[in-house]
A = this chain, B = another copy of it.
Amino acid sequence: MSAHRILGDRFAGWQKLALDSSQCPVRNLLDRIGDRWSLLILCALAAEPRRFSALARDVPDISKRMLTQTLRTLETDGLVHREVEPSIPPKVTYSLTPLGQSFAGPMLGLIDWAEANFAQVQAARLRFAEAARTYSASLSAIASPAAKPLAHAHWKL
């Protein structure tokens, strides 16, 4: 039985229980780590425990604000451990908890897929862009040159 069938059955199962995000583990997880930074930070910490500023350096483009916020969330969820060395200024080291480490498996699956299928995704994007270009060209051939893409164009059959 293929993974996508299993997944589908699983989804159908949740529905019967009304998938409420506070109750459903999956909704709950997605609400937490379903953002641009969490997984990236988890990866970085999997490589090695890091201080706050090292993380800020190594996770590109993240602002201190989001870094703080994301780390806090991961900490409350028990995936990340925060340790303060009481010097002045203090030094704070973040590391994965055992629970956080156990999450590495699934994360690795995701990452492997991404690396293996990136080319296909890029190809799909090119095809889509090309299709859109062709379509809009055909539109402007009919309508006035400056015509904007029509809302509800799909309705005009």
A interface residues (Cβ-Cβ under 8 A, vs B): 2-12, 15, 18-21, 25-31, 34-36, 38-40, 43-44, 46-48, 58, 60-61, 75-79, 84, 86, 88-90, 96, 99-115, 117-118, 120-121, 123-125, 127-129, 154-155, 157
Contact = CB atoms under 8 A, between A and B. Distances in A.
A124 B76 contact: yes
Decide if the interface of chain A is mainly helix, strand, loop or mixed.
Answer: helix
Contact of A105 (B113, B123, B127): B113
A3 B105 contact: yes
A42 to B, nearest CB: 8
B43 A78 contact: no
Given A15-B58, A76-B129, 14 more contacts: A7-B107, A7-B111, A8-B43, A11-B47, A28-B114, A28-B121, A29-B113, A30-B36, A31-B36, A79-B124, A88-B157, A107-B110, A109-B109, A110-B110
A30 B86 CA distance: 35
8 contacts: A2-B101, A3-B107, A28-B121, A76-B129, A78-B123, A86-B157, A90-B155, A105-B113
A8 B124 contact: no
Contact of A104 (B4, B20, B88, B107): B4
A36 B36 contact: no
